[in-house]
Amino acid sequence: MEYILDTANIRYIKDATEYFPIAGVTTNPTIIAKENKNFFKLIREIRMVIGKELPLHIQTISVRAEEIVEEGKSLLEKFDKNIYVKVPVTKEGIKAIKILKSKNIKVTATAIFTSQQALIAAKAGADYVAPYVNRIDNLSSDGCNTVGNIIRQFKNYGFKTKVLAASFKNAQQIQNVANLGIHAVTVTPEVFEKLYSHPSTDFSVEQFIKDWKKVYGDKKIKNII
Ligand code: G3P
């Protein structure tokens, strides 16, 4: 499963990519606007921090298909070829996905609320589809169940499109989609911190150090072997 960061916060991206096995960064207009910085510089900075190899998913803001395609092309020209153009799955968005894929441009279909939206986006050629788990839950529906259906239908029909689950508010939602064999999750800094930190782990480590010191004092392993 790929862990992707759903943020444009440079400080967090720097820290997380240094410490964790991160597989890329996703942004959307809300995430970008939150940083309130020069867009061009911000994307360049994210790319510098994560390096050339990691996928960077950047969302278009246009509504008409032709304009979405133009935006996507200019993202690749201004930045690099390892950009995934994020396109919301509207009618115009689906047309844009078809055109972008005919030009061999990588696409992440986003703002997905139903398994049929995901299937149509995959048929249009999307490399990733991003169902919004928590937003689906908030519509009194079941985000995890929708993700399960998407994974199943991609398997049944032999699609290579990856499912990139998004919009999480807690660690359990992520565990639930992991249990289904999700390909990738994109996670905010707030939720990512909850995935790995556990007070019992910290407590255990403290106890190990105390016990060691009782016998070996401040000696490190390298000093006694
Ligand atoms: O990547 C999509 C995601 O950012 C939407 O999440 O938390 O705004 O529902 P949220």
Tens of pLDDT, residues 165-204: 999 999 999 999 999 999 999 999 999 999 999 999 999 9
How far apart are the CA of 213 and the centre of ligand 1, in A?
46
Which residue has a Cα nearest atom 5 of ligand 1? 167
Residue 206: the pLDDT is: 98
**Residue type (1 letter), 170:** N
Taking phi over 0 as left and psi of -120 to 50 as alpha, with beta for the rest, 124 belongs to alpha
The residue-averaged pLDDT of 88-110 equals 98
Q: Specify the DSSP class assigned to residue 161.
A: P
pLDDT at 201: 97
pLDDT of amino acid 86: 98
Q: What band does 122 get if pLDDT is binned at 50, 70 and 90?
A: very high
Protein residue with its CA nearest to atom 4 in ligand 1 = 167
- As given in the structure block, the two tokens for residue 105 are 């441009």
Is 101 an active-site residue? no
Residue 184's pLDDT is 98
pTM: 0.95
Nearest CA to ligand 1 atom 1: 166
Percent of the chain with pLDDT over 90: 100
Per residue in 128-174, pLDDT (tens digit) is 999 999 999 999 999 999 999 999 999 999 999 999 999 999 999 99
Check residue 119 and give its pLDDT: 98
What CATH number labels 2-198?
Answer: 3.20.20.70
What is the percentage of the chain residues whose pLDDT exceeds 70? 100
Q: Which residues are near ligand 1 (CB < 6 Å)?
A: 6, 26, 28, 130, 132, 134-135, 166-167, 186
Q: Which two tokens stand for residue 104?
A: 């061999």
Catalytic residue among 37, 52, 73, 86: 86
Long-range contacts of 63-72 (CB under 8 A, 24+ apart): 63/90, 63/92, 64/92, 65/92, 65/93, 65/95, 65/96, 65/99, 66/96, 66/99, 68/92, 68/93, 68/96, 68/100, 69/96, 69/99, 69/100, 69/103, 72/96, 72/100, 72/105, 72/107
Contact status, residue 180 vs residue 144, Cβ threshold 8 Å:
yes
Contacts (Cβ under 8 Å, ≥6 apart) of 135:
113, 143, 167
Task: With cut-offs at 50, 70 and 90, classify the pLDDT of residue 221.
Answer: very high
For the chain, the average pLDDT equals 97
pLDDT value of residue 34: 98
Structure confidence at residue 117 (pLDDT): 98
According to the model, what pLDDT value does residue 44 have?
Answer: 98
Q: What is the CB-side half-sphere exposure of residue 91 using CA atoms within 13 A? A: 0
User: For residue 166, how far is its CA from the centre of ligand 1 (angstroms)?
Assistant: 6
In ligand 1, the atom with minimum distance to the C-alpha of 168 is 7
